């Protein structure tokens, strides 16, 4: 039952597309992730995901449109919806998702897949 300083957590790492667990609520994890460039197209068949921009700007690409998010904005990606996050410059994002979620979803992308996430 200690407070979490989000800026301090982001200062602990520099790598992109490598989520770090910063908190847990029941069966959900809150993950800090720095994104830059393109991520792969993927979907999660059984879980929704929530992305909240802490610093920077990102695009959440969907097959038929793109949603631009700035600091302080968030978006929920419903289960089964194909998406591909993108950031032209480094962006700090909190991701809220079930602990069972693998970041690459249904995509076969071993170079981007992150399992056994570090807790910081």
What are 9-41's pLDDT values in tens digits?
999 999 999 999 999 999 999 999 999 999 989
Is residue 110 pLDDT above 70, yes or no?
Answer: no
Domains of the chain: 6-98 (2.60.120.10)
CB 32 within 8 Å of CB 79: no
Chain segment 55-90, per-residue pLDDT in tens = 999 999 999 999 999 999 999 999 999 999 999 999
- pLDDT on residue 104: 67
Whether the pTM exceeds 0.75: the reply is yes
CB 74 within 8 Å of CB 10: no
Alpha carbons 114 and 101: distance in angstroms, whole number: 10
């Amino acid at each position: 039952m200690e407070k979490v300083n989000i800026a301090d957590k982001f200062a602990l790492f520099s790598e992109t597309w490598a989520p770090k667990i910063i908190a847990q609520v029941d069966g959900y994890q809150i993950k800090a992730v720095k994104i830059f460039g393109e991520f792969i197209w993927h979907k999660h068949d059984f879980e929704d995901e929530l992305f909240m921009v802490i610093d920077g700007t990102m695009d959440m690409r969907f097959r038929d449109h793109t949603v631009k998010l700035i600091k302080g904005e968030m978006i929920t990606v419903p289960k089964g919806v194909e998406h591909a996050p993108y950031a032209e410059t480094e962006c700090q994002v909190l991701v809220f998702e079930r602990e069972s979620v693998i970041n690459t979803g249904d995509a076969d992308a071993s170079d981007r897949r992150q399992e056994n996430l570090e807790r910081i």
